[in-house]
Amino acid sequence: MWNFPSIFQSSCPLAYINKMLSLSSQERHTMDTSCPENLPAGRKKAFDELERGRKLAIQLQIMLSKPAGDDADGPLSAKDLVAKILGTFTESLSILNCSASDEVSSQVPANTHLSCDGRKSEDSGESSKTSAPTDRRGCYKRRKTSQTWTRFTTSLIDDGHAWRKYGQKVILNAQYPRNYYRCSHKFDQGCQATKQVQRTEEDPRMYRTTYKGHHICKSQPKPAPHIMLDDSTPTPTLSRDSSILLGFGSNNKPNDGHFFHPFGSNPLIKQESKEELPSLKHNQSSSSDYLVPLPFKSSGPMAVLSPGSDHGDVISSGVYSCTASTHSLEMGMEMDMDMHMMVPSVVDFSDDDFNFNFADQY
């Protein structure tokens, strides 16, 4: 069984990358960076991603070493390279995170890899079918365990990122279809973030949005945020945070400081694309009735420390109080608070992730 270099195992992949990048070309050749044959598929995939990132970084290094004004940089700009390198880190961390809790060696075929545009290409292992346009075998990258966050909102709100809808499915025994979105910068910046939006059956006013993956893209800033309502409806004073994600931890996302907020450092609620689920426009009179602005802005993830319930518990709708803390990785601050939150419907705490809209006063 082949193992990653000790620095990789003992600290973090980024340290390994930095170590590799700090080596001279000759030194790199003396290290065995080829992927062993008998590596578990998950780690092999991570290895491939890291190796791809290393090559991109070298490419960037060469580009930066050139004199200013030298335009013979090839098809990719430095900005593109940085985006792709970050993409490889994100992908590798995601894979390694999965492997840490569950050695998922079969979810990603070992003979597949990401191409430069973010799509998955396939090596020439398949033989039963040729490269007919309809042959999409192996072209999917479905991750069994990736970091997800779920939020419930009574209105369609913007999270500050540009999304593009790529699918809609009728879900078995579900009254409302599920809509699939990917980051608009998936191909130009390699951002792998996706989200699913589905109206809840318990309360059709509510929408469940599940985010998967982290944004590595640089989205263009949007105008001042506000809850999306009908143009004829006066917009309530909801231009500030009206809901916050509460992560109760899971196997994939322990509250250990590696729990990233899905909206980056600024979880402001912004306007959602009006094309998204247009049926809301006909059912908006009741939306956001109980949402009020929070008296603070959280710059980091919210972690409930003592919600009074735990995994496996089921609580009914109502207003609950809990103690929560927020950590700002950027500012190094930590804040604890007591708060009340509105639970709009029965919630099964065995769910990995969920969130609530805060109610009334705190």
Partner DNA sequence: GTTATTTGACCCAC
Partner DNA sequence: GTGGGTCAAATAAC
Q: Which residues bind DNA (CB under 7 A)?
A: 106-109, 119-120, 129, 133-142, 144, 164-169, 171-172, 174, 178, 180, 182, 184, 194, 196, 212, 273, 275-276, 278
Among residues 121 and 317, whose Cβ is nearest to DNA? 121
Shortest CB 136 distance to DNA, Å: 4
Question: d(Cα 90, Cα 96) in Å, to the nearest integer?
Answer: 10
Among residues 187 and 362, whose Cβ is nearest to DNA? 187
Among residues 166 and 296, whose Cβ is nearest to DNA? 166
Among residues 79 and 169, whose Cβ is nearest to DNA? 169
Among residues 169 and 258, whose Cβ is nearest to DNA? 169
DSSP states of 273-328 as a string?
PTTSSGGGGGS-TTTTTT----SS---S-EEEEE-S--TT-EE-SEEEEEEEEEEE
Shortest CB 277 distance to DNA, Å: 9
Placement of tokens 């193992």 in the chain = 3
Shortest CB 164 distance to DNA, Å: 4
Identify the H or E element spanning 136. none
Shortest CB 175 distance to DNA, Å: 12
Do 118 and 87 meet the contact criterion of CB atoms below 8 Å apart? yes
Shortest CB 5 distance to DNA, Å: 28
